[in-house]
Structure 1
Amino acid sequence: MATLSEIETWLHDQLPALLAEHEVPGAAVGVLYGGEVVDLAAGLLSKATGVEATADSVFQIGSITKVWTTTLVMQLVDEGKIDLDVPVRDYLPEFVLGDDGAATKITTRQLLSHTAGFEGDIFNDTGKGDDAVEKYLATLAEVSQLFGPGEMFSYNNAAFAVLGRLVEVLRGEQYNAVLREQLFTPLGLTHAAGDPYEAILHRAAVGHLRPEPGEAPVPAPVWALTRSMASAGAMLAMSPRDLLTFAELHLSGGTTADGTAVLSAASVAAMQEPQVKLPALGMMGDSWGLGWELFDWAGTTVIGHDGGTIGQGAFLRVVPEHGLAIALLTNGGDMIEVYRAVVSHVAKELAGLDLPAMPTPPASAVSVDADRFLGTYTCDALDLTVRQDDDGKLWLDQVPKGIFAELGPKPEPVELVARDEQSLIAVKAENGLHTPHVFLGDDGTGRALYLHSGRALRRATA
């Protein structure tokens, strides 16, 4: 096994070359092992300014924020203010959905484990004021239910906006204030920002996007998503060292380095217990806990989360059995390739663990009934259409909607091939990933009812 010092040397030598190879403008990485941390950075925070990335630069952590929000919720559980299995409307009477029957049943546990069943990519902008999250809840009144509460997994950003409001109501303060009082301060964080106004006080990374497929990444025109989605991952930014300080809280039974109890050991354990199994989706975990993604790496449990915002990507993997945590923060380009290179090396050298292989197209053709897959699947964020051309090839057409339509050019058609009887996979890798699409359920005619690629999109009705 390698030492932490040897890992630091490897990162120092290899990270710049990895960024150049995969067109990632800048990155910061930290490794926690045996209670010690090493961190470093390479590249640029912005190609427009040329400011260099440093280990104490702040990058957006995106949806890793969901684990922080879950921690805030579990603190309320510890205090007896929330029962995870009571309908959330008992605490938030203003929680509304298009399906009122579902809204009366959905529990906090289902929100935390992405099993609530309503449309999840609802990025309604309700302003920049302290009431942004409060106003957001009312905008869910027309949001449709994809499936019954608790029936299956579908990644849900909107659920965590609801949880953010739940925290605000029960704490009597705005989400960012609660985040700072309940976590930033007791953890002693020095390079963490809850919003752009705080981020500007640090060396802050700017996201980068490709203007067209194949073109080099350029600085994104917008730094953050809407404030209404702060508790889901719209704007929280920090250094890898501060992110690892948070990870260490979940390795130490909920106590800080000075012995301060921030979360009960029971709640730490509960967050890491599987709540729902996932389809085989490649980058995502094998199951989901409360907030945490749960991975099975050849019999070893790994917890973590990824985050993606406007041109920034964040990766956190924690191996409780080995006291190991790895944080990688990036700002554009083929970020997944850098993730795989860094995490696979560190996990192998420090814990003897092999990073599971990514899904790839089968070496030989798989025979399936293509008619089961064909059609349009829809949600508020985008429409996905699976079609077959005259040569029998399968294609996926993607039509982003709303804010997603404004973030870049319309995606090109993606060629798909069968992976097995239940799923198709992209022939060409995008950002290092051949995306699998799993088809679930039956619409009553033998066709799939859902296309699942992390989110469950329901077949559009004629």
Structure 2
Amino acid sequence: MSTVLDVHGWLQERFPQLLREHGVPGAAYAIARGDQVVEGATGLLSTATGVAATPDSVFQIGSVTKLWTSTLVMQLVDEGLVELDEPVRTYLPEFRVADEDATAVITVRQLLNHTAGFEGDIFTDTGVGDDCLEKFVATLDAVPQLFPPGERFSYNNAGYCVLGRLVEVLREQTYDDCLRTHLIRPLGLTHAAPSVYEAIMFRAAVGHVEPEPGAGYVPAPMWALARSNAPAGSMLAMRPRDLVTFARMHLEDGLAADGTRVLAPGTAGRMLAKEVDLPELGLMGTSWGLGFERFDLPTGTLVGHDGTTIGQGAFLRMEPETGLAVALVTNGGDAMALYRDVVGHVLRELTDVGLPPLPVPPPRPERIDAGRFLGTYSAEVFDLTVSQDGEGRIWLEQTPKGVFADMGGQVERSELVHYRDDMLIPVKPDRGMHLPHAFVGDDGTGHALYLHVGRAVRRAGA
């Protein structure tokens, strides 16, 4: 088996070419195992300025931030200030969604493992003030409940904003200050920026987006999403070395490199352990822990999280058996393909656990009657309409709404084919990926109640 230094040597040679192959403007990585840490970077932080990416450049980590939020919550659990199975309202009396019965019973655990059941893609901008999270939580009183709390997994950004507010209230500090006081400083991190005001002090990556397919990637018109979504992943930026330092703390049972105890003994293990299974979506984990995404594979288990913001993508993978942590951060292009090449190579060389294969449509898909799947499924940020034409071909039309429409999203139409059981899959890839669409539940008339694509999108009118 190769060493960390062997892998680093391969990356130093291959990394620039891989970025060119996948159209990624700039990227950086860090790999840690035991006391060994290696890092590297190449490309540009912005094609407009021509500033080169370096290992100390900070990139947004997007939803990988959820691991930081869950860690802040579990520190409160360690201190006896929070019980995981207590209703959120025990600590946050103002928390309210549209369904009062659900509001009363949604627990902290259900927010952490994405089983709270209310609409989760809420990106309301409540300003840049220190009260933005408080204001955001107050806007959730009209958010619909999709299913009873605890019934199933549905990825929930808004739930993590609620958790961020819970941390603020119990710590009597802003979320950003909680990150600094309880994680960034104890871990000895030097290039971690909770806000744009700190990110600007470093060499900061700018996201790159493609205005339309085939047009090429250009610098994004804005750097970050709303501050109100910071606990879910709209703001936090850092260099990869600082991200794997955070990961190593979890792999070392809550101990920082200098011996500082960040989590109580056993807490990190509880966070990594399986809490809930997912539909077989292929591009997401097979199960989820208390914040952590899990990939339960025949050869072992990987844990971590991915993050996507405006033109930036981040990947964190940890292999608990060998104590390996690898982080990759990017600022545009085909980030998933780069991840498969880079992280896939690292795992093959340093562990017995490889990346699972990506789902692909069958070469000769079975023609089916899609009647159970047909109709419109509606979320806060898009409508998904499934139809079947006279030739039996199945189509998905995605219509952006709300913040997705405001950001210039366009109606997209794609063909789906039968994948397996109650699942369809796109014929053509999106950013190199074929995302399976699972149809689950029953609306009482024989039709699927949800279209599940990581989040459960409920049938409109049901």
Counterpart of 1:158, as a letter, is: A
The Cα offsets for residues 292-348 of structure 1, whole Å up to 9 and x where unpaired, read as 001113241111100000110000000010111110000111110000001111100
- Residues of 2 paired with 1:116 and 1:368: CA distance? 34
Q: In structure 1, what is the Cα distance between the partners aligned to 2:231 and 2:209? A: 24
Q: CA RMSD in A?
A: 1.0
Structure 1 residue 258: Cα displacement: 1.3
Counterpart in the other structure of 2:418: 418
Contact 2:299–2:353 (Cα < 8 Å) also in 1:
no
Matches within 5 A, 1:103-118: 103-118=103-118
Look up the equivalent residue of 2:343 and give its one-letter code: V
Q: Which moved more, 1:91-100 or 1:294-303?
A: 294-303
Question: Do 1:117 and 1:147's aligned partners in 2 also have CA atoms closer than 8 Å?
Answer: yes
CA distance, structure 2, for counterparts of residue 263 and residue 409 of structure 1 = 41
Partner Cα distance (2:407, 2:334) in 1: 17
TM-score if structure 2 supplies the norm length?
0.99
Supply the distance in 2 between the matched residues of 1:333 and 1:396 (Cα, whole angstroms). 24
SS at match of 1:364: coil
C-alpha deviations, 1:50-107, integer Å up to 9, x for none?
1111001000000000000000000000000000000010110000111111010000
For residues 331 and 392 of structure 1, what CA distance do their matches in structure 2 show? Answer: 40
Query: Aligned partners of 1:178 and 1:373: how far apart in 2?
Result: 45
- Which residue is equivalent to 2:370? 370
Contact 1:45 1:52 in 2 (8 A): yes
Shift of 1:33: 1.7
Corresponding position of 2:406:
406
Distance in 2 (CA, whole Å) between partners of 1:395 and 1:39 is 44
Equivalent-residue separation in structure 2 for 1:282 and 1:420 (angstroms): 12
Say whether 1:124 aligns with 2:121.
no
Moved more, 400-409 or 288-297: 400-409
Question: Unmatched 5+ residue regions in structure 1?
Answer: none
Aligned residue number for residue 54 of structure 2? 54
Letter in 2 for 1:168: E
What SS is found at the alignment partner of 1:326? strand
* DSSP-derived class of the 2:38 partner: strand
1:222 corresponds to 2:231: no
2:83 is aligned with what amino acid? D
Alignment check: 8 A CA contact 1:59 1:330 kept: yes
Kindly indicate whether the alpha-carbon contact (under 8 Å) linking 2:375 and 2:386 is maintained by their aligned counterparts in 1.
Answer: yes
Counterpart CA distance in 2 for 1:434 and 1:411 is 18
Segment of structure 1 superposing worse, 405-414 or 82-91 = 405-414
Q: Does 1:171 align with 2:171?
A: yes
Measured after TM superposition, the shift of residue 402 of structure 1 is 1.2
Secondary structure of the corresponding residue to residue 438 of structure 2: strand
Report what 2:240 is aligned to.
240
Preserved contact between residue 122 and residue 380 of structure 1 (Cα < 8 Å): yes
Q: 1:387 and 1:17 mapped to 2: Cα distance?
A: 42
Question: Deviation digits for residues 143-173 of structure 1, max 9, x if unmatched?
Answer: 0000000000000000000000000000000
Q: Distance in 1 between matches of 2:267 and 2:127?
A: 33
How far the C-alpha of 1:367 sits from its partner, in A, is 4.0
Query: Counterpart of 2:447 in 1: which secondary structure?
Result: coil
Matched, 1:142 2:142: yes
**SS of 1:250 mapped into structure 2:** helix
Matches within 5 A, 1:199-218: 199-218=199-218
- Aligned positions, number: 462
Alpha-carbon deviations, 1:207-241, whole Å to 9, x = none?
11101012211111111111111011011000000
CA contact (8 A) 1:368 1:420 kept: no
Is residue 2:270 matched to residue 1:270?
Answer: yes
Contact 2:300/2:352 (8 A) holds in 1: no
Secondary structure of 2:432 counterpart:
coil
Query: Aligned equivalents of 1:353 and 1:179: distance in 2?
Result: 32
Give the AA of the match of 1:286. T
Give distance in 2, aligned partners of 1:164 and 1:252.
25
1:89 counterpart letter in structure 2:
R
CA–CA distance in 1 between the matches of 2:322 and 2:122? 38
Aligned to 2:76: 76
Counterpart of 1:300 in structure 2: which amino acid? Answer: G
Q: 1: distance between equivalents of 2:368 and 2:159?
A: 35
Within 5 A, what are the aligned runs for 1:15-414?
Answer: 15-414=15-414
Tell me the secondary structure at the aligned position of residue 187 of structure 1.
Answer: coil
Output one character per residue of 1:183-210: Cα deviation in whole Å (capped at 9) or x when no partner: 0001000111001111000000001110
Aligned residue type for 1:229: N
What is the deviation of 1:411?
Answer: 4.2
Write the distance in 2 (CA, Å) between the matches of 1:387 and 1:82: 47
Name the CA distance, whole Å, in 2 between partners of 1:300 and 1:98.
41
TM-superposition CA deviations, 1:16-36 (whole Å, max 9, x none): 111111111110011112321
Q: 1:388 offset after TM fit, Å?
A: 1.5
TM-score by length of 1: 0.99
Which whole-Å CA distance do the structure 2 matches of 1:247 and 1:35 have between them?
13
Counterpart Cα distance in 1 of 2:348 and 2:14: 16
After TM superposition, give the deviation of residue 366 of structure 1 in Å.
2.2
SS state of the match for residue 372, structure 1? Answer: coil
Q: Match of 1:338, SS? A: helix
Residue identity in the other structure for 1:99: D
SS at match of 1:416: strand
| Helix, strand or coil at the partner of 1:429 | coil
Amino acid at match of 1:117: G
| Equivalent residues of 1:35, 1:323 under 8 A apart | no
Name the SS of the counterpart of 1:296 in structure 2. Answer: strand
- Paired residue type of 1:39: E
Match of 1:455 in 2: 455
- Preserved contact between residue 212 and residue 409 of structure 1 (Cα < 8 Å): no
Q: Which deviates more, 410-419 or 173-182?
A: 410-419
Amino acid at match of 2:222: V
